[in-house]
């Protein structure tokens, strides 16, 4: 099993506030790994450490076997980063924005056009960045990542604030990259996004990992939250916990001919997070 990203007991404080508290995990090659957590959980701080933009206080981080504190300019060219502080030049058009980075990275012109096409910005080459919608700006940020054809891609809340259709297109692009064997490290506060895309996730709250595993595994662990949704012939709906204590009640309803349909509801990451923290994963 080839590990592309490893974090071992990462600790980071800002002043007295511990923002990352002994964070450890591994990301396999070709996986989409999700870091889930509410605003302020420490997601962006962790991405900055993993990409060598910030130094941790304790612990070690490696990407592709390299210590993230010792990355060279050449190393940096091998991974793509999309995050808010990687700005777009408002006064340049889409093509010019990418050209700035293409020149730094020694990337050919046709790669710029290919990247714009890939993210659905073909035809918008000459549009000034300041005139782009939020969705198009996100696409342009993504184009910059894909232009360098990196093996490891870090995406910090790539679909935050986007409409569902644009988010869905970005999901498709991510899944296509995964199919090509790329490794993606994704942060999100959208549980449905993690369930849809990620092989493995960690859930963080207040700088600590509170759950880890595949989305399915985690949901299975919280199977006691399974509910039976029963629709009665008289039109009313009732919900009962899915366990042996309710079996008699359900049998009685069926025997007496009251039941029209029965469904089971599986726990999702949203309900898991709620159980773990007592909080909603609000935006």
Ligand X SMILES: Nc1ncnc2c1ncn2[C@@H]1O[C@H](COP(=O)(O)OP(=O)(O)O)[C@@H](O)[C@H]1O
Q: Which among 23-31, 41-49, 135-143, 247-255 is the span making contact with ligand X, rule CB under 6 A?
A: 41-49
Q: List CB contacts of 32: < 8 A, sequence separation 6 or more.
A: 174, 175, 178, 183, 184, 186, 197, 198, 199
Q: Beta strand pairing status for 58-63 and 183-188?
A: unpaired
| C-beta nearest to Mg ion: residue | 44
| Residue 117 beta carbon to ligand X: minimum distance, rounded to whole angstroms | 31
Name the residue among 53, 41, 50 with its Cα closest to residue 10: 50
161 is a contact residue toward ligand X (CB under 6 A): no
Which of Mg ion, ligand X, none sits in contact with 93, Cβ below 5 to 8 A by type?
A: none
| Residue 187 beta carbon to ligand X: minimum distance, rounded to whole angstroms | 7
User: Could you give the string, one character per residue 44-83, with x where binding to ligand X holds by CB under 6 A and - elsewhere?
Assistant: xx--------------------------------------
44 is a contact residue toward Mg ion (CB under 5 A): yes
Q: Which among 36-44, 105-113, 145-153, 239-247 is the span making contact with Mg ion, rule CB under 5 A?
A: 36-44
CA geometry: angle 189, 76, 166, nearest 5 deg: 35
Q: Which 11-30 residues touch ligand X, going by CB under 6 A?
A: 14, 19
Pure H helices in 77-181: 94-105, 109-118, 134-147, 164-179
Is residue 63 within 8 Å of residue 69, measured between CB atoms? Answer: no
Distance, CA of 68 to CA of 51 (rounded, Å): 6
268 is a contact residue toward ligand X (CB under 6 A): no
Residue with tokens 């949901």: 219
Q: Report the interface residues with Mg ion, using CB under 5 A.
A: 43-44
Q: Report the interface residues with ligand X, using CB under 6 A.
A: 14, 19, 37, 39-45
């Amino acid at each position: 099993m080839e590990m592309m990203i490893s974090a071992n007991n990462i600790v980071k404080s800002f002043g007295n506030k511990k923002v990352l508290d002994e964070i450890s995990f591994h990301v396999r090659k070709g996986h989409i790994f999700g870091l889930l957590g509410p605003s302020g959980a420490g997601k962006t701080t962790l991405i900055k450490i993993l990409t060598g933009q910030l130094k941790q206080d304790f612990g070690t981080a490696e990407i592709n076997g390299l210590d993230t504190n010792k990355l060279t300019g050449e190393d940096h060219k091998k991974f793509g980063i999309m995050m808010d502080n990687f700005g777009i030049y408002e006064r340049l058009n889409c093509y010019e924005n990418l050209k700035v980075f293409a020149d730094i990275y020694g990337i050919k012109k046709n790669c710029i056009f290919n990247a714009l096409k890939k993210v659905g910005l073909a035809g918008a080459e000459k549009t000034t960045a300041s005139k782009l919608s939020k969705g198009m700006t996100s696409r342009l940020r993504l184009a910059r990542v894909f232009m360098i054809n990196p093996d490891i891609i870090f995406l910090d809340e790539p679909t935050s604030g986007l409409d569902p259709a644009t988010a869905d297109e970005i999901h498709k692009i991510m899944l296509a990259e995964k199919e090509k064997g790329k490794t993606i490290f994704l942060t999100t506060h959208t549980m449905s996004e993690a369930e849809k895309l990620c092989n493995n996730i960690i859930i963080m709250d207040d700088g600590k990992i509170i759950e880890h595993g595949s989305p399915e595994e985690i949901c299975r662990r919280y199977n006691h939250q399974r509910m039976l949704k029963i629709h009665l012939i008289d039109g009313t709906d009732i919900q009962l916990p899915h366990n042996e204590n309710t079996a008699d009640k359900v049998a009685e309803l069926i025997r007496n001919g009251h039941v029209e349909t029965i469904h089971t509801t599986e726990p999702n990451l949203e309900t898991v997070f709620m159980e773990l923290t007592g909080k909603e994963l609000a935006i």
